Chain A
Amino acid sequence: MGAGHAHRLYRHGHSPVHALPPHTKLAAAFAFVVVVVSTPREAVWAFGLYAVLLATVAAVARVPAGFLLKRLLIEIPFVAFAVLMPFVAQGERVEVLGMSLSVNGLWGAWNVLAKGTLGVAASVLLASTTELRELLLGLQRLKLPPLLVQIASFMIRYGDVITDEMRRMRIARESRGFEARGVRHWGVLAKSAGALFIRSYERGERVHLAMVSRGYAGSMPVIDEVTASGAQWSYALALPVTALVVCLLGWTL
Chain B
Amino acid sequence: MHVPDGFINAPTSAVAGVVAAGAVAVSLRGARRELDERTAPLAGLVAAFIFAVQMLNFPVAAGTSGHLLGGALAAILVGPCTGVLCVSVVLLMQGILFADGGLTALGVNITDMAIVTTVVSYAVFRGLLKVLPRRRRSVTVASFVAALVSVPAAAVAFTLIYWIGGTTDVAIGKVATAMIGVHVLIGIGEAVITALTVGAVIAVRPDLVHGARGMEQRLKLRVNGELVDAPAAAPAPVAAPAARSHRKVWITGLVASLVLAGFVSFYASASPDGLEKVAADKGIDQKEKEHAAAGSPLAGYGVKDITDARLSGGLAGVIGVGVTVVAGSAVFWAVRRRRTDDVSPADTSSATSV
Binding site for B on A (CB under 8 A): 7, 9, 26, 29-30, 33-34, 36-38, 41, 71, 74-75, 77-78, 84-85, 87-91, 95, 98-100, 104-105, 107-109, 111-112, 114-116, 118-124, 126-127, 132, 135, 145, 147-148, 150-159, 161-163, 165-166, 180-183, 185-187, 189-198, 200-201, 203-205, 207-208, 211, 217-220
Judge whether A180 and B59 touch: CB under 8 Å. yes
Cβ-defined contact, A74 with B96, below 8 A: no
Q: Is the CB of A123 within 8 A of B95?
A: yes
Q: Which residue of A lies closest to B286 (CB)?
A: A87
On B, residues with C-beta under 8 Å from A are: 1, 4-7, 9-10, 13, 24-25, 28, 31-32, 37-49, 51-53, 55-61, 68, 77-78, 85-86, 89-90, 92-93, 95-100, 102-105, 167-171, 174, 192-193, 196-201, 203-205, 208, 282, 286, 289-290, 293-295, 297, 349, 352-353
- Of B13, B77, B286, which contacts A37 at CB under 8 A? B13
Q: Which of chain B's residues have a CB closer than 8 A to the CB of A89?
A: 168-170
A183–B61 contact, CB under 8 A?
yes
Residue from B31, B38, B203 whose CB has the most chain A CB atoms within 10 Å? B38
Contact (Cβ within 8 A) A34 B293 = no
**Nearest residue, chain B, Cβ from A87:** B286
Nearest A residue to B98 via CB reads A74
A99 to B290, CA, bound (A): 6
Instruction: Knowing A90-B169, A180-B58, say if A201 contacts B46 (CB, 8 Å).
Output: yes
CB distance from A68 to the nearest CB of B (A): 11
Cβ contact within 8 Å between A218 and B352: yes
Whether the pair A120, B41 counts as a contact (CB closer than 8 A) is: no
B45 touches A123 (CB 8 A): no
Q: Given the interface contacts A112-B168, A201-B208, does A154 sit within 8 Å of B56 by beta carbon?
A: no
Task: List, in ascending order, chain A residues with CB within 8 A of B89's CB.
Answer: 148, 151-152, 155
A–B Cβ pairs within 8 angstroms, 5 of them: A116-B102, A154-B43, A194-B196, A197-B201, A201-B46
Q: How far is the CB of A11 from chain B (nearest CB, A)?
A: 13
A36-B6, A119-B102, A183-B192 provided; 7 other pairs, C-beta below 8 A?
A: A37-B13, A108-B168, A121-B99, A155-B89, A186-B196, A193-B53, A204-B38
Q: CA A131 – CA B283 in complex, angstroms?
A: 44
A182-B60 contact, Cβ under 8 Å, with A89-B169, A193-B197: yes
Among A114, A124, A154, A180, chain B packs the most CB atoms within 10 A around the CB of A154
Cα–Cα distance between A91 and B55 once the two chains are bound (Å)? 40
Secondary structure of the B contact surface, majority rule: helix
Q: Is the contact region of chain A dominated by helix, strand, or loop, or is it mixed?
A: helix
Q: A36 to B5, Cβ gap below 8 A? A: yes
Shortest distance from the beta carbon of B146 to any chain A beta carbon, whole Å: 16
Is the pair B104, A33 in contact by a Cβ cutoff of 8 Å?
yes
* B residues less than 8 Å from A105 (CB atoms): 168, 170
For the complex, give the distance between the alpha carbons of A183 and B66 in Å: 11
- Bound complex: CA A231 to CA B45 (Å): 38
Given A100-B289, A116-B5, A119-B102, A150:B44 Cβ within 8 A: yes
B234 to chain A, nearest CB (A): 19
Given A182-B61, A203-B45, A166 and B56 contact (CB-CB distance below 8 Å): yes
Cross-chain contact B196 with A190 (CB below 8 angstroms): yes
Contact A119 B40 (CB under 8 A): no
A114 to B168, CA, bound (A): 14
Top-5 shortest CB links A-B: A154-B44, A115-B6, A108-B168, A194-B200, A119-B5
C-alpha gap A161/B48 in the complex (Å): 9
Contacts of A126 in B (CB 8 A): 96
Q: Which residue of A lies closest to B105 (CB)?
A: A119
Known A145-B25, A181-B59, A182-B61: A123·B103 in contact at CB below 8 Å? yes
Q: Do A147 and B28 touch (CB < 8 A)?
A: yes
B44 in contact with A163 (CB, 8 Å): no
User: CA of A159 to CA of B44 in the docked complex: distance in angstroms?
Assistant: 9
- What is the CA–CA distance of A180 and B55 in the complex, to the nearest angstrom? 14
Assess the B349–A218 pair: CB atoms within 8 A: yes
Which B residues lie within 8 Å of A182 (CB)? 59-61
Select one of B38, B86, B197 contacting A208, CB under 8 A. B38
Instruction: Report the bound CA distance from A225 to B340 in whole Å.
Output: 38
Give the residues in chain A near B92, CB-CB below 8 Å.
Answer: 152
Determine whether the beta carbon of A186 is less than 8 Å from that of B85. no
**Is there contact, CB below 8 Å, between B61 and A120?**
no
The answer to whether B45 and A154 have CB atoms under 8 Å apart is yes
Kindly list chain A residues whose C-beta atoms are within 8 Å of the C-beta of B13.
37
Cross-chain contact of A33 among B31, B40, B60, B102 (Cβ < 8 A): B102
User: Bound state CA distance, A2 and B282, in angstroms?
Assistant: 50
* Given the contacts A158-B44, A161-B48, A204-B41, A111 and B353 also touching, CB distance less than 8 Å: no
Least Cβ–Cβ distance between B52 and chain A, in angstroms = 4
Across the two chains, which residue of chain B brings its CB closest to A30?
Answer: B103
Are A190 and B200 in contact (CB-based, < 8 A)?
A: yes
Q: Say which residue of B24, B38, B59 sits within 8 Å of A148 (CB atoms).
A: B24
Alpha-carbon distance between A204 and B200 when the two chains are bound, in angstroms:
19
A145-B28 contact in complex given A90-B171, A105-B170, A205-B38, C-beta closer than 8 Å: yes
Alpha-carbon separation in the docked complex, A121 to B5 (Å):
11
Residues on B with C-beta less than 8 A from A181 are: 59
